[in-house]
Chain A
Amino acid sequence: MHSSGKTLNGSEIFIECLRRENVDYIFGYPGGSLLKVYETLYDVHDIQHILVRHEQGATHMAEGYARATGKPGVVLVTSGPGATNTVTGIANAYMDSSPMVVFTGQVPSSLIGNDAFQEADIVGITRPITKHNFLVKDVKELAATISKAFYLATTGRPGPVLVDMPKDILNASCNFEWPETVEIRGFKPTIKCHINQVEKAAQKIAASKRPLLYIGGGVISAEASQELQKLAIQLNIPVTMTLQGLGAFPGNHPLSMGMLGMHGTYWANQAVNRCDLLIAVGARFDDRVTGKVETFAPQAYKIHNDIDPTNVDKNVKVDLPVVGDAKNFLAGLFEVMPKTTENRDPWLAEINAWRQQCPLSYSNEDNALRTEFVIEEVSKQTKGNAVVVTDVGQHQMWTSQFYTFINPRSIITSGGLGTMGYGLPAAIGAAFGIKDRPVVLFCGDGGFMMNIQELVTAVHHKIPIKIFLINNSFLGMVRQWQELFHKEKYSFTDLGDSNPDFVKVAEAFGCRALKADNPDSAKAAIEEALAWNDGPILVDFRVVKKDMVFPMVPAGGSISDMLLARLNPKTMV
């Protein structure tokens, strides 16, 4: 322990700890239990506090910031309702393995358990959705607890950690001691992969005629894109990515096959079906990826590298598990790879034939405005260099298909939990972290309303995000399932009569706004939005109402159940 010899109160210790952790933004909202912290914050200028307008917004902002930068996002909220408002955002970060530290105020220790005013057992509530959480019981433990929280959030598989701080602890004083090292005996993640497993994997890869890399978000959080590219390109192995893995390998490279799974490309899913070797790295065989597990990659020998051993053999039984960090695995593979490997040209030709057979396409005959066009146009105009944030729904899946992701940390989207309302605050958080690339948001007209209050935050801080509102007047993704699987009963998904005029709404918030309803005006609006950097700008794209996202493997289905087009949705491939 290093002792600075200074006596500080709990609130000052809290701030001092954030300094030691190099925190530059706190996304927060004050309240009774945090008055002392906010008193301290008043004179703090080296850490910026961003006042959100709803605590859920704070959590998604922190997560957007974390995913864009790789640094942990920090949230500060008061007890009771402030704390419970963070639950969705914490669950989201947990499912998508994003590093985040959430600080909640709590009623004074002496009142805990008494149903005190604004008391909620947030440690109990968030136990299953945090990597770990703490209730601080003594001001002398505060600094050590905070350093553990950051360590846990960022080490091994990242995730959210919550620290609950009772009011009396924040007022009490003690000698400030910052622990230079963190030691948690029950937490020792395996970073380095077992060399025998890596060697075995390398042999399998060298001997495979039809290998396929199946890449997840773990490759991005491990900062292993370079290693992946080197391996895939030198060994001529095609790469398919999950939603969170997009950008780990450049989407414009011939070996990139785009996304796999429910709304993945036809050729990626066919390749999964046909490959003789599947190399899963930092991916977790989620049901949106596998469909029916019994028929997933039926011919493949399966290698699975993951930093979290619980992901191995959880959904799909694999042949060769390799627990450890993705960067360590991919770099290790390269080192021990046999000199000669199988020729993959016939395999790549097979894949290309599928690609030609069923490319991603959309109709543009009628001069109507379609989401696919908007996204493709944004992709072209930003040259794939934007940080792209999405909300949840059809526009999200189309983003995965029609935006060409070139770099890691370029897609920020709610994958595991599928949280509508994530997009706007996540985009704002990303823009706080990334200033040298445009941050664009594709958001549905349904989800935009779920955290619309954060538009104020963006306007107030002049955050130059481009809000591309994909306005189809429907809860489009639900509408699609109703059309395909629920007898076309469009139960409570038509927003046409009730949506506000989004341009006026944005303007009332002080946000510049445009409207576009055909391809030409859309193109011009995108240009204008990308050129505007004096705060946020919204474009209300009035797109066709009833488009559907294809291909689609129905939930729990096999590749052979893939639906390819709307004209005859019953057609199986």
Chain B
Amino acid sequence: MKHLISVLVENKFGSLNRVAAMFSARGFNLESISIGETEDAEISRMTIVTRGEDQIISQVLKQLNRLVDTIKVIDLTRQPHVERELLLMTLKLTKTQQHEIFELINVFKGKVVDIKQKSITIEVIGSPDKINTTIDIFRPYGIKELARSGAVAIHRGE
């Protein structure tokens, strides 16, 4: 089963490496990992997407906790949370498809961030599921390049 884990780590050189290296050393699945600063400049938040049976996930959580640089580890999967991902995608732009592409961008509440004669770069934000769908739908129009941020997530407020 897919798990979404939020990890608060010391904002120190090597913290990301320690986490990523632990996943590979122990053979845990690592679907995505993202990291950024938090409201406290000394602490970063990592959002990790992983997959595994309950026993594996329990090891993942314990091994994360064991790292000295990790301050808090929360499995958000079964708790109320908001999860978002950013997609940047450059598509081929042809006269014939232009219209359809713009319509779809609207449907997905995307934004045009760059436009050239033969290509268009768009930005879409949403749950990883929505991002998957977006990519599927746009694929027939010719994706030249895409980048995903990986999930970021946070508890829902009270």
A residues whose Cβ falls under 8 Å from a Cβ of B: 123-124, 127-128, 131-132, 135, 137, 152, 184-187, 308-310, 312-314, 317
Instruction: Give the residues in chain A near B63, CB-CB below 8 Å.
Output: 310
Q: Tell whether, in the assembled complex, residue A127 and residue B21 are in contact, meaning their CB atoms are under 8 Å apart.
A: yes
Once bound together, how far apart are the Cα atoms of A184 and B68, in whole Å? 8
Asked whether, in the complex, the Cβ of B68 is within 8 Å of the Cβ of A186, the reply is yes
Among A152, A314, A317, contact of B68 (Cβ-Cβ < 8 Å):
A152
What residues of chain A lie closer than 8 Å to B14, measured between beta carbons?
Answer: 123, 127, 135
Give A458 Cβ to nearest chain B Cβ, in Å. 36
> What residues of B have a CB within 8 angstroms of the CB of A187 in the complex?
68
Name 21 interchain pairs, CB-CB below 8 A, sorted by A: A127-B14, A127-B18, A131-B68, A132-B69, A135-B13, A135-B14, A137-B13, A152-B68, A184-B68, A185-B71, A186-B68, A186-B70, A186-B71, A187-B68, A309-B62, A309-B66, A310-B59, A310-B63, A312-B62, A313-B55, A314-B59
A132 smallest CB distance to B (angstroms): 4
**Which of B17, B62, B70 has a CB less than 8 Å from the CB of A310?**
B62
Interface residues of B in 118-147 (CB under 8 A from A): none
Which residues of the partner chain B approach A185 to less than 8 Å between Cβ atoms? 10, 71
Known: A186-B10, A309-B62, A313-B59. A127 touches B68 (CB 8 A): no
Bound-state CA distance A184–B25 (Å) is 24
Query: Chain B contacts of A309 at CB under 8 A?
Result: 62, 65-66
Nearest chain A residue, comparing its CB with the CB of B15:
A186
* B67 at the binding interface (Cβ < 8 Å): yes
- The CA of A124 and the CA of B18, in the complex, are separated in Å by 9
B67: nearest chain-A partner, CB-CB? A186
- A313: chain B residues at CB < 8 Å are 55, 58-59
The CA-CA distance from A123 to B58 in the complex, in Å, is: 28
Interface of A is mostly: loop
* Complexed CA–CA distance, A187 and B67 (Å): 8
- CB-CB under 8 A from A308, the residues of chain B are 66
Closest 10 CB pairs of A and B: A132-B68, A310-B62, A186-B71, A128-B25, A187-B68, A309-B62, A186-B70, A186-B68, A185-B71, A310-B66
Which residues of B3-32 are within 8 A (CB) of A?
Answer: 9-10, 13-14, 17-18, 21-22, 25
Q: B64 — nearest CB in chain A belongs to which residue?
A: A310
Looking at the assembled complex, report how far the CB atom of A130 sits from the nearest CB atom of chain B, in whole angstroms.
10
Q: When the two chains form their complex, are residues A128 and B68 in contact, meaning their CB atoms are under 8 A apart?
A: no
Question: What's the Cα separation between A187 and B9 when bound, in Å?
Answer: 12
Chain B positions within 8 Å of A127 at CB level: 14, 17-18, 21
Question: Whole-angstrom distance between the alpha carbons of A186 and B71 in the complex?
Answer: 4
B21 CB to nearest chain A CB (Å): 6
In the complex, which of the residues B14, B17, B68, B71 has the most CB atoms of chain A within 10 Å of its own CB atom?
Answer: B68
- Which of B18, B21, B55 is in CB contact (< 8 Å) with A317? B55
**Interchain CB contact under 8 A, B68 and A124:** no
**Contact present for A128 and B21 (CB under 8 Å):** yes
Q: How far is the CA of A310 from the CA of B70 in the complex (A)?
A: 15
- Assembled-state Cα–Cα distance A313/B63 (Å): 12
- Least CB distance from B20 to A in Å reads 10
Nearest opposing residue in chain B for A187, CB measure:
B68
Instruction: For the complex, give the distance between the alpha carbons of A127 and B24 in Å.
Output: 12
- Starting from the known contacts A184-B68, A309-B66, 13 additional A-B residue pairs (CB-CB under 8 Å) come to A127-B21, A128-B21, A128-B22, A137-B13, A185-B71, A186-B10, A186-B69, A187-B68, A308-B66, A313-B55, A313-B59, A314-B59, A317-B55
Closest residue of chain A to B70, judged by CB?
A186
The smallest C-beta distance from B15 to any residue of chain A, in angstroms, reads: 10
The interface residues of chain A lying within 8 Å CB-to-CB of B13 are: 135, 137
CB-defined contacts of B22 to chain A, threshold 8 Å: 128
CB distance from A304 to the nearest CB of B (A): 13
**Residues of chain A lying within 8 A (CB to CB) of residue B59:** 310, 313-314
Cβ of B46 to closest chain A Cβ, rounded Å: 13
A558 CA to B9 CA, complexed, in Å: 42
* B66 closest partner in A (C-beta): A310
- Complex Cα distance A537/B55, Å? 52
| Complex contacts, B69 vs chain A, CB 8 Å | 132, 186
Nearest Cβ in chain A — how far from B129, in angstroms?
31
A128–B13 alpha-carbon span in the complex (Å): 16
User: In whole Å, how far is A158's beta carbon from the nearest beta carbon of chain B?
Assistant: 14
A124 and B17 in contact, given A187-B68, A313-B58 (Cβ under 8 angstroms): yes
**Which chain B residue has the least Cβ–Cβ distance from A152?**
B68
Query: Chain B residue with minimal CB distance to A312?
Result: B62
1/0 per residue, CB under 8 A from A, across B69-95: the answer is: 111000000000000000000000000
Closest to B13 in A: A135
In this complex, what residue of A is CB-closest to B24? Answer: A128
Rounded to whole angstroms, the CA-CA distance of A308 and B58 in the bound complex is 14
**Shortest CB–CB separation between residue B19 and chain A, in angstroms?**
11
Q: Which residues of B contact A312 (CB under 8 A)?
A: 62
